[in-house]
Amino acid sequence: MFLNVMYSEKEAFSLSLEKLAFVGDAVFELLVRERISAKYGTNIGEINKRKVCAVCCEAQAEFFRTIEPMLNDRENSVYKRGRNAHIGRVPKKSSPQVYHIATGLEAVFGYLYLSGQFDRIEEFAKRLNL
């Protein structure tokens, strides 16, 4: 991993939800890109279409429903804080409810990444249906 600064679980937990979601968005997209590029051919146009479909709010919300039963108490708390965070604008193609679920998911991935819980990210990644 690229992480130069590692946070303890407690420190990562206390970071702002905006920061956690910001980092988590990148972590989730990189995870999807990695899986798609390994699974599919070399047609970048096709790979990119699959990536866009997998990282959109609706797909993230659906993925969250898949891993929700796996969340421990701390992850669930991060998710709820992320889901309930005040968000300025919701993308036109998404409902506020779906966007909030996706933001909560991103916060969880940000929390896990910044606290060095890469094995946990991998557990969730195994549930990706790409």
CATH number at residue 68: 1.10.1520.10
**What's 38-57 look like in SS3?**
HHCCCCHHHHHHHHHHHHCH
pLDDT single digits (tens) 60-119: 999 999 999 999 999 999 999 999 877 667 666 778 899 899 999 999 999 999 999 999
User: Which domain does 102 fall in, by range?
Assistant: 57-125
Question: What residues are annotated to the active site?
Answer: 25
pLDDT at residue 3 greater than cutoff 60:
yes
pLDDT single digits (tens) 16-52: 999 999 999 999 999 999 999 888 877 899 899 999 9
Distance CA 93, CA 119 (A): 33
Q: Is residue 76 included in any domain, yes or no?
A: yes
Q: Is residue 98 included in any domain, yes or no?
A: yes
Provide CB contacts within 8 A for 52, sequence distance 6+: none
Q: Is residue 106 included in any domain, yes or no?
A: yes
| Global pTM value | 0.91
Q: Is residue 1 included in any domain, yes or no?
A: no
Q: Is residue 67 included in any domain, yes or no?
A: yes
Q: Is residue 21 included in any domain, yes or no?
A: no
Domain count along the chain: 1
Q: Is residue 14 included in any domain, yes or no?
A: no
